[in-house]
Structure 1
């Protein structure tokens, strides 16, 4: 079986297995929208808001998480090291490290794209109904910008997920989230602006090059990430 064919088979198998659990992701999307839209609207209109950092924090730390299905494997990675057990099982089968890495990235990209398509479509619909007029094409580019960012960061999450123990995976995620929390609070304290709203304004001003720039970074992240995952899968320990 070719590398791409095997990778697609793995991705399809995992997505079919998690079909009904996608409802949990949908619930998470609605949860994010409930909290983020009022904050986003206030930031967009320039209102004074002590929680202006929260919009940036949600986008920077939580949007990439929409590429991960909340299934049994994910819920048990800390206690039972479920990802290591799954990788160990797959490595006993005629499945190459390249197929595992590529298949996981294909699954990530598809799940993230669908989840963020729902997120940004609902967000735009609610904003439109509240008379917040943003040109459709600008909003599409804005959504693409954040999708590319999310995919690049989520690729790093996948590297830790399949290449390390559950405790290491948790620790790296915690460091990332804590780092984003510190950065966003510092931006708010020093009144350095809002990343989310600034990205939209930059695009509205015709600077679409930022989308191309983040797209290039994402392509590089996928290429480098896939190669690093393959190397890691070849030499890591599979003792859970």
Structure 2
């Protein structure tokens, strides 16, 4: 990765953020909807615990790096991402720069969503405040960010590498798989949220450190795998 690549990727990222300058507001409002629901669900008593908090805790962080833009609203109908990649291939823009710009965008969105939404969640959730003080809660949040990194690497691969319909189908399948995991955990009376909180208390900074490390390794692999796939892909 050269300075020129980084500079070009950053230019593309800034342009995308400028074009979609209102996306942060819509992303915040949409995220607040899930945060308010999750905050309410985490107030239930121990014997009333359901799979709903676990479902949100695995779905919500998985989209921390995604902003609500018109591209995501129209990608099925117009195959937006495929058309954009086809346009880039006709321009003096390297595929590496396109993929890098996408990851830079995800980094910015993840930081923004994490700082805003998880701050609100902390003050909304008395149950979590009782189990985690501020520092452990930050570790808990970072652990979820690592999980978000893993999921976002998959999203980038299918977003840039396949058609809008294939991307939609992949998102649907991933959501169903997560739902199955949560349901199985619920049947076994194994709360994902509670175990994450207990793990943070027990292992301290080790848990978020491992999560971020796995996330970084996933990004490194995802970056190179996506590039190789795009060089082989035909754009029509």
Category of TM-score, reference length = shorter chain: over 0.9
Where do 5+ consecutive residues of structure 1 fail to align?
A: none
Is 1:84–1:238's contact at 8 Å kept on the other side of the alignment? yes
Is 2:27–2:68's contact at 8 Å kept on the other side of the alignment? yes
Q: Output the CA distance in 2 between the equivalents of 1:21 and 1:83.
A: 17
> For residue 111 of structure 1, what is the aligned residue in structure 2?
109
Worse overlay, 30-39 or 97-106: 30-39
Number of residue pairs matched by the alignment: 234
Residue 142 (structure 1) shift: 0.4
Q: Structure 1 residues 56, 211: closer, same or farther in 2, change over 3 A? A: same
Residue 231 (structure 1) shift: 0.9
Is 1:21–1:71's contact at 8 Å kept on the other side of the alignment? yes
Q: Structure 1 residues 213, 131: closer, same or farther in 2, change over 3 A? A: closer
Q: Output the CA distance in 2 between the equivalents of 1:76 and 1:167.
A: 11
> For residue 65 of structure 2, what is the aligned residue in structure 1?
67
> For residue 47 of structure 1, what is the aligned residue in structure 2?
47
Worse overlay, 203-212 or 97-106: 203-212
SS state of the match for residue 137, structure 2?
helix
> For residue 210 of structure 1, what is the aligned residue in structure 2?
207
Residue 127 (structure 1) shift: 2.5
Is 1:33–1:123's contact at 8 Å kept on the other side of the alignment? yes
Q: Output the CA distance in 1 between the equivalents of 2:135 and 2:160.
A: 37
Worse overlay, 133-142 or 203-212: 203-212
> For residue 21 of structure 1, what is the aligned residue in structure 2?
23
Correspondence list, 1:27-176, <5 A = 27-42=29-44, 45-49=45-49, 52-127=50-125, 132=130, 134-176=132-174
Is 2:159–2:167's contact at 8 Å kept on the other side of the alignment? yes
Deviations 1:107-129 (A, max 9, x none): 01110121121111001112359
Q: Structure 1 residues 122, 76: closer, same or farther in 2, change over 3 A? A: same
Residue 46 (structure 1) shift: 1.8
Q: TM-score, normalised by structure 1?
A: 0.91
Residue 211 (structure 1) shift: 1.4
Q: TM-score, normalised by structure 2?
A: 0.93
Q: Structure 1 residues 205, 94: closer, same or farther in 2, change over 3 A? A: same
Q: Structure 1 residues 131, 168: closer, same or farther in 2, change over 3 A? A: closer
Deviations 1:86-123 (A, max 9, x none): 11112211110110011100101110121121111001
Residue 41 (structure 1) shift: 2.8
Residue 21 (structure 1) shift: 2.1
Residue 133 (structure 1) shift: 6.1
Where do 5+ consecutive residues of structure 2 fail to align?
A: none
